């Protein structure tokens, strides 16, 4: 009996640590993405350096993986009605990642991403991050 309680507590601590890691990683990805968006939307400038875009992508994917691992843990936010916020956040961020992959494909073809595509990518990512904030603080 005591072993299952300790295992459950360890799962909760691991889940909370992964959730905090996801929060920090995705926060850093949002900041890097803001820099990239401003850089891309300025007319008559060279595109941002690919290492900055690669860092943005790797940090965001790492944050998404941490969030997915955290969601495997015990549920949180049941008493505040935010229990589904983690899944909603993960779906929105995954959709943003898919659009980011589309922008990567365009970049490999030497094309600048359309402003609309950048806007939709940013909207999905920031919406997912804001919902994640509500989930973390619940």
Give the per-residue pLDDT at 2. 45
Q: Which domains does the chain have, with CATH numbers?
A: 2-137 (1.20.120)
Contacts of 39 (CB under 8 A, 6+ apart): 45, 47, 48
Residue found by looking up tokens 């820099």 in the block: 35
The reported pLDDT for the residue numbered 8 is: 56
The predicted structure's pLDDT at residue 1: 43
User: What distance in Å separates the CA atoms of residue 138 and residue 21, rounded to the nearest whole number?
Assistant: 16
The pLDDT of residue 9: 56
3-state secondary structure of 1: coil
Q: How many CA atoms lie within 13 A of 72 on its CB side?
A: 10
Residue 26's pLDDT is 98
pLDDT of residue 55: 97
- DSSP state letters, 29-54: HHHHHHHHHHHHHSTT-PPPPHHHHH
**Per-residue pLDDT at 112:** 80
Could you report the average pLDDT of every consecutive run of 10 residues in the chain (138 residues)? 51 84 97 93 86 95 96 87 94 97 88 88 97 93
- Kindly write down the DSSP assignment for every residue of 72-88, as one continuous string: TS----TTTT-TTHHHH
pLDDT for res 10: 59
Question: Which two structure tokens, joined as six digits, stand for 63?
Answer: 């944050």
What percentage of the chain's residues is helix, strand, coil (to nearest 5)?
A: 80, 0, 20
């Amino acid at each position: 009996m005591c072993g299952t309680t300790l295992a459950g507590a360890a799962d909760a601590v691991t889940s909370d640590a992964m959730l905090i890691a996801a929060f920090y990683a995705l926060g850093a990805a949002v900041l890097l993405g803001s820099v990239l968006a401003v850089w891309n939307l300025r007319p008559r400038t060279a595109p941002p350096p690919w290492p900055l875009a690669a860092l943005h992508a790797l940090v965001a994917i790492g944050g998404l993986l941490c969030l997915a691992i955290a969601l495997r843990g015990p549920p949180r936010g049941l008493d505040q009605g935010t229990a589904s916020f983690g899944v909603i956040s993960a779906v929105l961020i995954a959709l943003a990642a898919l659009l980011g992959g589309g922008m990567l494909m365009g970049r490999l073809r030497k094309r600048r991403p359309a402003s609309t595509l950048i806007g939709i990518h940013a909207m999905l990512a920031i919406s997912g991050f804001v919902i994640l904030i509500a989930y973390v603080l619940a």
